Amino acid sequence: MNKKRWSLLLALTLVLSLLLPNFTSVATAKTNPKVSMTVSQPLLSITEARDVEVEVELSYKANLKHLTWTFGGKTFDEWKKWDSKAGDFTGDPYLTFKEEPHYVKGTKKVKATIHFDLLFNTTDLSPRSIRTKYPQFLNNYELAVTDLKKKEKASASLKLNVYDSYRTYDEIKKEMDELVANPGKGRYIEYKSLGKSVQGRDMHFAVLAKDKKAIDRYLNDTLPKALENPAQLQKEIKSGTLKDYQIPIWFNNIHPDESPGVDAMMDILQQFATKEEITYKATNEKGEEEEVKMNVKEALDHFIFIFNPGHNADGRVNNTRQNANGFDLNRDNGYQTQKESVIVTEEIAKWTPLSFIDLHGFVKDFLIEPCTPPHNPNFEYDLLMDGMIEHAHAMGNAGIANTKYDSYKIPLLDYENGWDDATTAYTAMYAMFHGAMGHTVEIPDLNEESNKALVYASLGAINYSLENKDRLYTNQLEIFKRGIEGTESKEVDKWLVNQKGDVIGRDYAENGQFFPDYYALPIDQSLQKNELEVYNMVDYLTRNGVKVEETTKSVKIGDVTYPKGTFIVPLHQAKRGLANAVLSKGEDVSDWDAMYDSVITNFPDLRGFDRYAIFEKGAFASHVKDVSEADKPVTNTKFKEADLIVPNTNNDVIRVVNQLLKDGKPVQVITESGDGYKKGDFILKRIYLSHYKKDFFIETKPKKGKVPTVALKKPIVSANGSAALKYALKELGFELGEAKDSVVVIDDQGRVKPEQGKAYIYAGGSAAQFLTSQNIVPGLEAKTTDYYHEGLLKVNVNPHPLTNGYEPTEWLYTGSGTWFTSVPKDSDVLLQVSKDDDYYRAGWWPGREAVKGQNLAFTWSNNGYKITAFANDLTFRAHSQQSYRLLANAIFEQSVK
C-alpha cells in the first residue's frame, strides 16, 4: 500500500473513531441450550427511554459478580451517549441497571431491569446535526449475560429502532407484500414499482381500493369523463344519479430523512388494509373532543387510497433529503430534471387525485397548508380554498386531539408571507395544478409522537373528504370545466394580492384575457431557434396530462403563418393551469418582503425555445390532430460530403461532440465566421456522426469549400460546488476529474482560488463575490442584493466564441441577485443586462433596478491567469439549460489542440 492510500485509510479511521462509540470486544462463550433469557419487550427506541425487565435462567447458580453483561457484543459501560459539545459518543452512560441483577428467591433465575436511556439526549432527532447519525445504530442487537469461567451464556435479540413505527426501505416492501397477499375482507391492494431510482432501487407504490373494478372504473371511465365533459358529471352528482363512484386520495413523502412521513402512510395503509373500523378523537368547532368512528368499508365505497413511500427510494436508504444526484426533489416537480420527478409527476397526472397530502417535517408550529400569498395565478384558487382551509383544520384538529401537541398553524391564516405557493416546485403544489387539494404537512419532531400526529391528521383528512365528497369533487370538476370552457372567474382575483394586501388579480392586459387561447410551438427554423427543446417540451406536456395537437396544414394567424407540423397547445382544456404555468412568461413578485422559493418556471426562456401566445378563439379549430408523444426526428446525415457543419444551437450538439471525443473521433472547431457558418461551430465527420443520428438531434449541413478550423481534444473538467453543476456537466457528456488533471476548473459556490497556468470558470453570485475577494482580477467589483433573489433578465449578448450559438438579445436566468459593477479594462464583456425598460420579465428581486445595464459575464487572461466569470447561474437546479452552452463554450475554448 502506498503512503497516500495509507494516509487516507488512517484519516478515515480517525473520523470513524470520533463518530462511533469506543467499543472493545468481550470474549464469547458457548451457549448451553438449557439456559435461557426472556425480556419484557424486544423493541427499543432511540427517541424514547425504556426499561427492559430481563429474566435469565442458567444451568447452575452462578456468582453474580462473575457475570458479564453485554449489548451488541460490547459491555454496558462502553455504550456512551452523544456529547454534542465534544461531537462524539463520550457522554453519560447509555445503558445502566435500574434494578441490579439478583436471584429470584428459591430459584436459579436471575432478574434485572436495564434502563436504555436517550442515545442522543433528546426525544426529538429532527435537528439536522444529529439526524444523519442515527442510521448507524439501527440493528438487531444481542443482549447477553456470560459467565466466562463456566463458558455459559444466555441471550436474547433486541431491535434498536428510531421509533417504534420506523421501517427500513426493505421492510416497506416486505410489509406491502404481506398486505397484498392477505388483505382484509372487501379490500384490494395493488403493489407496483413506479420505476427505478437513480441508484436502481424500486420506487415502492401501493393502491388500496374496494376491488379492482373500482380502480378500472375510475381510470377508464370516471376520470376521462371528468377531463372531457365535467359538466355532465356535475349534473349527475347533483341529481343523485352518480352514486357509486370512487376517487383517489394520495399520500406522499418526498424527503425520506423526514422519516415519519413514510412510516405514517404505512401505518394508514396497514389500518385501512386490515381493520373494519378506525376510531380516533377529534376536536369539534366548539373546542370539545369527540370520538370519530370511521367505517373502512364505507370509506372504500367512496375513495381509492394511493400510497407513495418510494418517491425518493435512495434517500430512504441513505437517510438523505436529496436523491442520489444531490437534488432536493421537492424543488423539481415543475422542472422535472430528475428521473424520480419524471416518474412520480406522470403518475400524479395519470390519477389526478382529489386530495394530495405530502407528509413532511420539521416545523415546530405543526404546519398544515394552504399557503400564504402570493399565490400562483394559474390555480383556480377560489375553488381550491372552498375545501382546503376546512380540510387543513380537520387534519390539525385530529392531529392535536390524539397527541401531546396542542396547536397547529395554517400559513394562509397565521403567517403574513414567506410560505407561499407561487412556485411549481413542490409536490403538493404540482398536484394543485391537477385540481387536487394539495397540502404539505410539517410535523414538529422526529419521533413516534409526530408519527402519530401525521397518522391522525391523515385520518382527519379522510373523514372530512368522506363527509364532503360530492362538494369537493364538484369543485374539482368545476376547475376542469373552467379550463375547457375558457372561463376566467373573477372570484380567483380576490385571492391574488400584493405585499400591501391590495387585490391585484390576474393580468388581463392581453386582449382582456389572462389565459391565451393557444400556444404555438413551431419547429420550422424560420420561427424556431431550438427545435430539440420543442420536442422535449411536447414530451413534458403529454406525460403531464396536457393535451397537445399538431397542425396538418399551414395556418395563418395574423401576420404569422404556422407551417404544417407546428405543435399547438390549446388552453381550452381541463389542465390549462399547468400548461400556462410552464409556458407563460411568469410573474414579477418583487414587491414581496419574503418568498419561500424560486417562482420562475417558464420553459421557453429557461430551456431556450420560441413559443407564441395566440389570443384568438378557434384559431386552430381545424387542421389539427392529437399528439400522444413527440416523434423526434433523427439527425440528417444524408449528404455526399464527408464533413458536416454543425451549428452550436442546442445541448445535443455538446453531447454528440463529447461522445465523439470520447470515442477518439476527430472534431474540428471553426475559427473564423464565413458564408453559412460561424466561429465556434463544429465540423464532424459524417460517417462517425451517422452512428448517433438516432441518439442526438442536431442541425447539420454539408461543408463546402475551405473552412478555417482547429482540432478539439477531449476536455476533462473539475467541478466544484453544487450538485446541479456536476449533474449538468455529466448530462452534457463531460468527463469530471481532479483539478490537477483538468483542462478547466469550474466553481459555482466560491470554493477554489485561481492559480496561474490553469483556466477557471466561476458561475453564480457566491462564486462571483468570492472571485472579487481574491484581488487577482484588477478592478473587479460585484454587488449582490441577496443570494436568493432571482429573475429573468433581458441580456445583450456580445459576439465572442464563448457566446456562439446565442442571439444578440436573449432572456437569461439568474438566481443569486448578483452583477459586476466593474470589470478589468482588458477583459471581454460577454453578457450585459439591457438598458431597456423591459429588462426584467419575472421573478422575485427587490432592488432589481440596480442591475439594469450592468455586466453579467466577462472573460480575462493576463499574467498567466485565465478566468471567465458569470454573475448569473448557468446550471440552476438543472433547469436553466438555455445557459448550458455558455458553460460548454468556455470549456471547449481551453480544449483546442
| Grid cell for residue 203 | 420506487
pLDDT at 285: 78
Residue 352: inside a domain: yes
Q: Which domain holds residue 174?
A: 169-485
CATH of the domain at 759: 3.40.50.880
| Grid cell for residue 895 | 480544449
Calculate Rg over the CA atoms of the chain: 31
Write the pLDDT tens digit of every residue in 632-680.
Answer: 999 999 999 999 999 999 999 999 999 999 999 999 999 999 999 999 9
Residue 120: inside a domain: yes
pLDDT at 288: 85
Write the pLDDT tens digit of every residue in 331-373.
Answer: 999 999 999 999 999 999 999 999 999 999 999 999 999 999 9
Number of domains the chain is built from? 5
Shortest CA distance to 803 belongs to which of 880, 743, 887?
A: 887
What is the percentage of the chain residues whose pLDDT exceeds 70? 96
Q: Which helix (H) or strand (E) holds 74?
A: strand 74-75
pLDDT at 32: 63
- The yes-or-no verdict on residue 409 having pLDDT over 90 is yes
| Grid cell for residue 392 | 387543513
- The yes-or-no verdict on residue 4 having pLDDT over 70 is no
Residue 294: inside a domain: yes
| Grid cell for residue 628 | 400522444
Domain end among 108, 129, 161: 161
CB 327 within 8 A of CB 877: yes
Write the pLDDT tens digit of every residue in 556-591.
Answer: 999 999 999 999 999 999 999 999 999 999 999 999
Alpha carbon separation from 711 to 375, 668, 883, 895 (Å, rounded):
52, 5, 24, 9
pLDDT at 115: 98
The rounded distance, in Å, linking the Cα atoms of 689 and 639 is 12
- The answer to whether residues 60 and 27 belong to one domain is yes
Mean pLDDT for the stretch of residues 110-135: 96
Residue 12: inside a domain: no
- The answer to whether residues 248 and 125 belong to one domain is no
- End-to-end alpha-carbon separation of the chain, Å? 37
pLDDT at 5: 43
Q: Which helix (H) or strand (E) holds 427?
A: helix 427-432
CATH of the domain at 79: 2.60.40.10
- The yes-or-no verdict on residue 29 having pLDDT over 70 is no
CB 465 within 8 A of CB 391: yes
Confidence class for position 264, pLDDT limits 50, 70, 90: very high
Domain end among 461, 485, 509: 485
CB 175 within 8 A of CB 168: no
- The yes-or-no verdict on residue 1 having pLDDT over 60 is no
pLDDT at 27: 38
Give the contacts of 77 (CB within 8 A, at least 6 positions apart): 93
Residue 123: how many CA atoms within 13 Å on its side-chain side? 10
Shortest CA distance to 417 belongs to which of 372, 366, 453?
A: 372
Shortest CA distance to 95 belongs to which of 134, 51, 125?
A: 51
Q: How far is CA 890 from the centre of its chain?
A: 29
pLDDT at 2: 46
Question: Which residue carries 413534458 as its cell?
Answer: 540
CB 587 within 8 A of CB 377: yes
The rounded distance, in Å, linking the Cα atoms of 430 and 335 is 10
The residue ranges of DSSP E strands in 185-259, in sequence order, are 188-196, 202-209, 247-252
Mean pLDDT for the stretch of residues 689-717: 96
Mean pLDDT for the stretch of residues 250-263: 98
Domain end among 673, 693, 711: 711
pLDDT at 15: 39
Shortest CA distance to 445 belongs to which of 90, 118, 94, 20?
A: 118
- The answer to whether residues 175 and 136 belong to one domain is no
Give the contacts of 820 (CB within 8 A, at least 6 positions apart): 768, 780, 781, 782, 854, 855, 856, 858, 869, 871
Residue 583: inside a domain: yes
Write the pLDDT tens digit of every residue in 189-233.
Answer: 999 999 999 999 999 999 999 999 999 999 999 999 999 999 999
- The answer to whether residues 368 and 455 belong to one domain is yes
Residue 144: inside a domain: yes
Write the pLDDT tens digit of every residue in 453-487.
Answer: 999 999 999 999 999 999 999 999 999 999 999 99
Angle, in degrees to the nearest 10, between helices 260-274 and 448-467: 50
Shortest CA distance to 373 belongs to which of 385, 386, 364?
A: 385
Mean pLDDT for the stretch of residues 10-32: 41
Mean pLDDT for the stretch of residues 506-517: 95
H helices within 37-141, ranges in order? 128-131
- The answer to whether residues 563 and 692 belong to one domain is no
- The answer to whether residues 691 and 720 belong to one domain is no
What is the percentage of the chain residues whose pLDDT exceeds 90? 93
Q: Which helix (H) or strand (E) holds 349?
A: helix 339-351
Confidence class for position 25, pLDDT limits 50, 70, 90: very low
Using DSSP bridges, classify how beta strands 518-521 and 567-570 pair: parallel, antiparallel or unpaired: antiparallel
- The answer to whether residues 175 and 134 belong to one domain is no
Write the pLDDT tens digit of every residue in 750-787.
Answer: 999 999 999 999 999 999 999 999 999 999 999 999 99
- The yes-or-no verdict on residue 22 having pLDDT over 50 is no
- The answer to whether residues 672 and 689 belong to one domain is yes
- The answer to whether residues 99 and 145 belong to one domain is yes
What is the biggest distance separating any 2 CA atoms in the chain, rounded to whole angstroms?
Answer: 108
Mean pLDDT for the stretch of residues 297-305: 98
Mean pLDDT for the stretch of residues 502-529: 96
Alpha carbon separation from 729 to 299, 483, 590, 608 (Å, rounded):
49, 39, 32, 18
- The answer to whether residues 725 and 831 belong to one domain is yes
The rounded distance, in Å, linking the Cα atoms of 461 and 275 is 18
Residue 491: inside a domain: no
Shortest CA distance to 862 belongs to which of 759, 744, 718?
A: 759
CB 492 within 8 A of CB 385: no
pLDDT at 527: 98
CB 272 within 8 A of CB 460: no
Residue 209: inside a domain: yes
- The yes-or-no verdict on residue 124 having pLDDT over 90 is yes
Write the pLDDT tens digit of every residue in 800-851.
Answer: 999 999 999 999 999 999 999 999 999 999 999 999 999 999 999 999 999 9
Question: Which residue carries 420506523 as its cell?
Answer: 166
- The yes-or-no verdict on residue 18 having pLDDT over 90 is no
Give the contacts of 283 (CB within 8 A, at least 6 positions apart): 289, 290, 397, 398, 400, 401
pLDDT at 148: 87
The rounded distance, in Å, linking the Cα atoms of 611 and 548 is 14
Question: Which residue carries 426493505 as its cell?
Answer: 170
The rounded distance, in Å, linking the Cα atoms of 188 and 214 is 9
- The yes-or-no verdict on residue 403 having pLDDT over 90 is yes
Confidence class for position 441, pLDDT limits 50, 70, 90: very high
Q: How many residues make up the chain in this entry? A: 897
The rounded distance, in Å, linking the Cα atoms of 409 and 441 is 10
CATH of the domain at 210: 3.40.630.10
pLDDT at 106: 87
Write the pLDDT tens digit of every residue in 718-743.
Answer: 999 999 999 999 999 999 999 999 99
- The answer to whether residues 726 and 622 belong to one domain is no
Confidence class for position 31, pLDDT limits 50, 70, 90: low
Mean pLDDT for the stretch of residues 96-104: 97
Q: Is 658 exposed, middle or buried (0-12, 13-18, 19+ CB in 10 A)?
A: buried
Shortest CA distance to 461 belongs to which of 373, 358, 363?
A: 358
- The yes-or-no verdict on residue 6 having pLDDT over 50 is no
Shortest CA distance to 608 belongs to which of 809, 384, 357?
A: 809
- The yes-or-no verdict on residue 300 having pLDDT over 50 is yes
- The answer to whether residues 446 and 528 belong to one domain is no
pLDDT at 283: 85
